[in-house]
Amino acid sequence: MQQSEQEQQKEQKITQNEIPDLIINPYEVVNNSKKQIDYDKLIQSFGCQRIEQNHLERIQALTQKPVHHYLRRGIFFSHRDLNQVLDAYEAGKGFYLYTGRGPSGDSMHVGHLMPFIFTKYLQEAFDVPVVIELSDDEKFFHKSETTLEEYQRYGYENAKDIIACGFDVNKTFIFLSSKYAGHMYHNICKFQHAITYSQLRGIFGLNESDNCGKVAYPAVQAAPSLSSSFRHIFGKDEVMCLVPQGIDQDPYFRMTRDVCYKLKVPKTGCIHSQFLPGLHGFGTKMGTTDPTSAIFLTDSPKEIEEKIKKHALSGGGMTKKEHQEKGADLTVDVPYHYLRFFLEDDARLEEIRVQYGKGVMMTSEVKKELITVLTKIITEHQQRRALVTDEMVQKFMELRPLSNYPPKKNN
Ligand code: TRP
């Protein structure tokens, strides 16, 4: 089950990717190429594994449910030790899911929801516990735009959006790292003990003038990967952990896994997603500095419509004639790409791919379809979020056992 020393070293050495026009790390995602990121190259460079058809079949067989369209379409495309996690599940030992978010005061956009939508699907499909870290400390150290207290407040607000994704309060534990860290400090110490400053510098690009919090924090993101960080859920059991995450977070978990090896505990499993690009095109990002770059969870139907109509980059022909002759360039087309993320109906998506690609369908029609799909998702999210009270947030954050651990026999 454990990797050989050689593989171990390989994993340690690969800290940065060497792909031109592409920077990916927890603090920076920059794609200067205008096209979809070459995720195959990224897998190679990071040393992770592609999710293959056999994984999908195995997940489907174990959960007795069709796999999520994020898996079917390769949006969650890469992993580390997924099979080991599934082995543990199959053997009746169960596993748990761990994910997180660095809270911010800016409104969240649709891209932020992806790891949570996916984690919620996994929680339902496997019926396993979920722990969610709100890393207010991380944002305080790295962004330093406001006080720690303010980042804590953002954490509670962001928790409402996360809860609105539909997590079951009896099966989910949400925590702010600045409040919960004491309970997992024994594991934080073990990580801090096992990692040198020069390793950290290699992975995260830190230097002498960075505040000490940036050096100390990676252990705080690593510690929730060990079940002994949650005694109120797992008691003394050693339970495997699977971390759904954007691939930019992988450096944290590469580091985590190296230390797991040293501590002789099972390595944390990872499952990585691609990025949702900004509306302006593949090389662009979503952010509050340019509100037209993204669909936010607070947008009204009118705003959604306008943004997509006016700002979503089209790969269609310049003129109707050209479009009908050449078809749309789907490798740069944002509306089509967004439909891959948000339109669940495989048959309809395929129809659009073919018809739009041939130039039979026009950009305006594709956009219209995207507007319908996104408006529904966002309005429903807003309705659920409006029902989340402060008391509910407190409930999710209470230290308590979760109803689906230990796992029931014969699952
Ligand atoms: N570092 C993540 C961010 O900046 C937040 C985070 C904390 C996280 N723990 C995590 C993300 C575990 C994925 C998995 O948003």
Residue nearest to atom 5 of ligand 1 (CA): 101
Q: How remote is the CA of residue 111 from the centroid of ligand 1, in Å?
A: 14
Residue nearest to atom 11 of ligand 1 (CA): 100
Q: Which residue has the higher pLDDT, 4 or 105?
A: 105
* DSSP type of residue 116: H
Measured distance CA(21)–CA(35) in Å, rounded:
10
Give the mutation target among 76, 96, 99 for probing the ligand 1 site: most ligand atoms within 8 A of CB: 99
Q: How remote is the CA of residue 134 from the centroid of ligand 1, in Å?
A: 7
| pLDDT of 19 | 81
Residue nearest to atom 3 of ligand 1 (CA): 102
Q: How remote is the CA of residue 248 from the centroid of ligand 1, in Å?
A: 10
Question: For the segment 57-77, what is each residue's pLDDT rounded down to a tens digit?
Answer: 999 999 999 999 999 999 999
Average pLDDT of the chain is 94
Q: How remote is the CA of residue 159 from the centroid of ligand 1, in Å?
A: 13
Question: For the segment 250-283, what is each residue's pLDDT rounded down to a tens digit?
Answer: 999 999 999 999 999 999 999 999 999 999 999 8
Residue 42, number of CB atoms within 10 A of its CB = 20
Q: How remote is the CA of residue 132 from the centroid of ligand 1, in Å?
A: 9
* DSSP type of residue 73: T
Q: How remote is the CA of residue 367 from the centroid of ligand 1, in Å?
A: 32
- Tell me the CA end-to-end span of the chain in Å, nearest whole number: 23
Question: For the segment 328-380, what is each residue's pLDDT rounded down to a tens digit?
Answer: 999 999 999 999 999 999 999 999 999 999 999 999 999 999 999 999 999 99
Ligand 1 atom at minimal distance to the Cα of residue 252: 1
Question: For the segment 136-188, what is each residue's pLDDT rounded down to a tens digit?
Answer: 999 999 998 899 999 999 999 999 999 999 999 999 999 999 999 999 999 99
Q: How far is CA 291 from CA 155, 198, 257, 385, in A?
A: 22, 39, 37, 21
Residue nearest to atom 8 of ligand 1 (CA): 100
Residue nearest to atom 1 of ligand 1 (CA): 102
In terms of Cβ atoms closer than 10 Å to its own Cβ (0-12, 13-18, 19+), residue 249 is: buried
Q: How remote is the CA of residue 193 from the centroid of ligand 1, in Å?
A: 21
Nearby residues of 271 by Cβ (< 8 Å), 6 or more positions away: 51, 76, 78, 79, 82, 242, 243, 244, 245
Ligand 1 binding pocket (C-beta < 6 A) is 26, 98-102, 133, 135, 138, 221, 243, 245, 249
Closest CA to 233 of 329, 60, 96, 99: 96
Residue nearest to atom 9 of ligand 1 (CA): 100
* Average pLDDT score over residue span 14-37: 78
Q: How remote is the CA of residue 102 from the centroid of ligand 1, in Å?
A: 6
Q: Phi then psi for 402, rounded to 5 degrees? A: -105, 150
Closest CA to 276 of 92, 91, 109, 51: 109
| pLDDT of 408 | 85
Q: Is the pLDDT of residue 30 over 90?
A: no
Q: Is the pLDDT of residue 5 over 90?
A: no
| pLDDT of 212 | 96
Q: How remote is the CA of residue 246 from the centroid of ligand 1, in Å?
A: 9
Cα 181 to its chain centre, rounded Å, is: 22
Give the mutation target among 28, 80, 249, 275 for probing the ligand 1 site: most ligand atoms within 8 A of CB: 249
